[in-house]
Structure 1
Amino acid sequence: MSRTNVSADAKQWILNRMLAGAGSDQVVAELMAAGWQRKAATDALAVVVAENPRARVAVAANDTPAEGMPEPGIAQMPLSLDAGDREVQVLIEMKSPRVVVFGNLLGADECAALIEAAKPRMARSETVNRQTGEYQIDVARTSRGMFFQRGESELHLRIENRIAKLLNWPAENGEGLQVLHYQPGAEYEPHYDYFDPADPGTPALTRRGGQRVASLIIYLNTPSNGGATTFPDVGLSVLPQCGNAVFFSYPQPQPSTKTLHAGAPVVAGEKWIATKWLRQRVFA
């Protein structure tokens, strides 16, 4: 379909996609998938960029290759890594999806301290409303949780700096730790951690720090049974062990990263975890 005139609705859609993190090639491809001819799609994109300063900022950011990704230094397959104030074991490494399981990331005392600090502030866990970008209660997530502010205490600073060194990613590019509590039967159904660029609520979520590019799930206790972190696309299950953690990254907000994951139901006992989400830029 050839479109020589760009409607206000089309301009707004293009702007929203760019603010959500879509690069020029992705926007053009999506327009073509909707029936536009390549020249019309390219011209429409150019009109939006020329007319809107926010679009110019977005295209400059989105079309510039990211300067690396969070990634532990395990090219030489070491058995452990220096995380600044402690040695962290490397237990499992997978290329696709990019998954690394760490041992001894936190000490038992640090795990217990995080749990105790979180307990008074726990509430029913929420998920992101994909239409509005706001958080809401969802039946797919049956845990209880809370968010710490980044650097909220000496304990948080110590853990955040340890994670930054381990993953070679600035501490300020991370969200505050989220602590979650799962009782028997509680679970989190399969989901992605990135914000889907196609969702209307994504621009509101990416204004602070850009897209999420990686996740780190830290196990704060060891359940009696169940509670694994599962990756259905590749048949991987990571069993929760106190102080261990699973890291996975997703360079593009797309299912092709194979980072669909879930928190399997707790069968016996309880499960406490702390999740750290890493952003493209400073999260403020």
Structure 2
Amino acid sequence: MASPLLDDGYTAWREGRMEDAVAALQSGVAAGEAAAIAPLFDAALEAGLTGDAAASVRATLDSALEGPLAPVLDQAAGQRAAARLGAVVLASGLGRAGDWPGAIAARQSDHERGDLRAGLEIALLCELAGFTGAALSLLEPLARSGQGEAIAALLRLGAQRGEVSEVAVPHAPALARAHPLGPALQQAISGLPAAAASAPCPVPDAQALADALFAREPERETLHDAPRIQTAPGLISAVLSDYLTAASVPFLHTATIFDPDTGEQRPDEYRRSLTASLPPSAMDLPALAIRDRMLTLAGAQSHQSEPLAVLVYQPGQEYRPHFDFIAPDGGRASDDLARRGQRAHTVLVKLNEEHTGGATSFPRLDVAWQGRRGDALVFDNLDAAGKGEKASLHAGLPVETGTKILASLWVRER
């Protein structure tokens, strides 16, 4: 049964009273409520806390994950889940600068102690950073153990290279039955030869891996100047595109729109798709690295981020012309604007290519973007004066065949 503090925190959160939600959840964690740790982290990030408030929450989380509550976490959520969350907190930047080298080093240590999930995270970060040999050295043993995400990554790499690791080939039929992208991956490697297992390759140390993840400024191509609309080809790799897609599946639900009359979200024919908002506490380092690359493309920092989302459009589904900036309503939307400012930027990443139709269109500018797997689009929702930019009107056109999958991130002013 939930504690009164946890109940109070969730009630305040539903009502949009984020400061009260954070305070109640923080009190819950301080009182020894392990179940309040993850929602406290999520609420603090949704509230966009900075300064002393963020530092206070960070100190509470650090104490819980490393100190008195650690034995409780071992029983309640599992030691490995607590270690994953601890690394995400370390890299997230809440209350202090994000410590990516420290977070990576922590997961490397977890892997050395037998945490296979931590090994997968390091492998995916290596692949995203361009250390493909190191990624293969980590992925192949994981695939031998039957880890589905590692098998999926090897199949995608095989499709790109024109030959598939012999470690992954025998697992492809089972993956097609158990993994959301299994059938597509099996089709992608159909007819390709098998390649011998890779020779061992050293894994870069935590600092080198962190540096490589974010060292390169994204390449940009400008589609429009004012409002800014830019593309960034290959912002993330195909392997990470697949990984984020699969990670979103447990969170998918029918997309909704904000109803200014009721202040609530509701389904509407105007927006027909599935959506998954990924709570920060459910993320891992690869998902966080994707989010941080999207933030870099927008020129923003972690505290400006709304939760990373994944959007899934099936044939006939669309998002009709709309704005991403928020209209004041004298209620919750206005309170939210006062706290965090407007949605200044939108970043989209194309996660698949197995569809026709579904371009992102700007009808007032005669601009449209389709993109390829891993490509990104960033555009501004505000004009030079900080007001809602009417020319940013955009739509997700109807999908004709297949399924369109996008990652989406809204970036606030503060």
TM-score for both structures, normalised by structure 2:
0.45
CA distance in 1, matches of 2:407, 2:360: 13
1:148-189: per-residue Cα shift (whole Å, max 9, x none)?
A: 123621122212222233332111111011111001111000
Q: 1:244 and 2:375 equivalent?
A: yes
Contact 1:221 1:240 in 2 (8 A): no
CA distance in 2, matches of 1:253, 1:131: 22
Task: After TM superposition, list the pairs within 5 Å mapping 1:1-284 onto structure 2.
Answer: 84=214, 88-150=218-280, 152-197=283-328, 201-251=332-382, 252-256=386-390, 258-281=391-414
Gaps in structure 2 of 5+ consecutive residues:
1-211
CA distance in 1, matches of 2:236, 2:339: 28
Q: How many residues align?
A: 199
Deviation at 1:140, TM superposition (A): 0.6
Deviation at 1:132, TM superposition (A): 3.5
CA distance in 2, matches of 1:167, 1:179: 18
> As a proportion of its length, which structure holds more helix?
2
1:83-140: per-residue Cα shift (whole Å, max 9, x none)?
A: 7155633233421221001100111111111111111221110111123432111111
Contact 1:131 1:199 in 2 (8 A): no
CA distance in 2, matches of 1:155, 1:83: 10
- Between the aligned residues of both structures, percent identity stands at 30
Question: In structure 1, the residue corresponding to 2:312 is in which secondary structure?
Answer: strand
* Amino acid corresponding to residue 127 of structure 1 in structure 2: I
Q: Name the Cα RMSD after superposition.
A: 2.1
Contact 2:304 2:413 in 1 (8 A): yes
> As a proportion of its length, which structure holds more strand?
1
Q: Which has the larger radius of gyration?
A: 2
CA distance in 1, matches of 2:332, 2:262: 4
CA distance change for structure 1 residues 100 and 221 in 2, over 3 Å: closer, same or farther? same
CA distance in 1, matches of 2:239, 2:215: 15
Deviation at 1:280, TM superposition (A): 1.3
* Amino acid corresponding to residue 254 of structure 1 in structure 2: G
* Amino acid corresponding to residue 88 of structure 1 in structure 2: P
CA distance change for structure 1 residues 130 and 83 in 2, over 3 Å: closer, same or farther? farther
Contact 1:230 1:238 in 2 (8 A): yes
Q: Single out whichever of 176-185 and 206-215 deviates more from structure 2.
A: 206-215
Query: Equivalent residue for 2:27?
Result: none
Contact 1:130 1:199 in 2 (8 A): no
* Amino acid corresponding to residue 215 of structure 1 in structure 2: T
TM-score for both structures, normalised by structure 1:
0.65
1:17-58: per-residue Cα shift (whole Å, max 9, x none)?
A: xxxxxxxxxxxxxxxxxxxxxxxxxxxxxxxxxxxxxxxxxx
CA distance in 2, matches of 1:93, 1:202: 31
CA distance in 2, matches of 1:189, 1:249: 18
Does 1 or 2 have the higher relative contact order (CA < 8 Å, sep 6+)? 1
Question: In structure 1, the residue corresponding to 2:310 is in which secondary structure?
Answer: strand
Contact 2:295 2:411 in 1 (8 A): no
CA distance in 2, matches of 1:144, 1:241: 20
CA distance in 2, matches of 1:237, 1:104: 18
Contact 1:150 1:156 in 2 (8 A): no
Contact 1:173 1:280 in 2 (8 A): yes
Contact 1:130 1:201 in 2 (8 A): no
CA distance change for structure 1 residues 230 and 163 in 2, over 3 Å: closer, same or farther? same
CA distance change for structure 1 residues 261 and 223 in 2, over 3 Å: closer, same or farther? farther
CA distance change for structure 1 residues 199 and 260 in 2, over 3 Å: closer, same or farther? farther
CA distance in 2, matches of 1:97, 1:278: 15
Contact 1:129 1:201 in 2 (8 A): no
